[in-house]
Amino acid sequence: MDEILARAGIFQGVEPSAVSALTKQLQPVDFPRGHTVFAEGEPGDRLYIIISGKVKIGRRSPDGRENLLTIMGPSDMFGELSIFDPGPRTSSATTITEVRAVSMDREALRAWIADRPEIAEQLLRVLARRL
């Protein structure tokens, strides 16, 4: 698990001691295939890093069809926009296989970032690459 987490975008270029401090606060979660991790429009307060399995990220179009944005796998992070914007989720996340992940809530991550501003920069890099 540590090897997968080390490849996650949020940890790239971060000192190992800082990564170790954060990984102790991550909460393991398991989801069955077809589970909605979060739905578009729901309030968001948590990010996820996939350890194993696959998650699809999608958004509803005005006519009700689902637009697939991306499929994520091990070491990919999703839901991180809620750390910066606690408003409604802008997309839905649904498992397409059984998924094991770790999660962290906004307050824990913000406390970690407060001591290490380089983490906020790294999160912004990850978000910018997705645009």
CATH number, domain with residue 34: 2.60.120.10
- What percent of the chain is modeled with pLDDT above 70? 92
DSSP 8-state symbol, 25:
T
pLDDT of residue 131 exceeding 60, the answer is: no
Q: How far apart, in whole angstroms, are the C-alpha atoms of residue 56 and residue 82?
A: 17
- In this predicted structure, what is the pLDDT of residue 20? 76
Sequence-ordered strand ranges (E) for the chain: 27-31, 36-38, 46-52, 55-60, 66-72, 77-78, 92-95, 99-105
Say how many domains are in the chain: 1
Closest to 79 measured CA to CA, from 67, 91, 97, 64: 91
Q: What is the pTM of this model?
A: 0.84
pLDDT of residue 127 exceeding 70, the answer is: no
* Domain that includes residue 85, residue range: 2-130
Closest to 55 measured CA to CA, from 83, 34, 39: 34
- pLDDT-based confidence at 119, cuts 50/70/90? confident
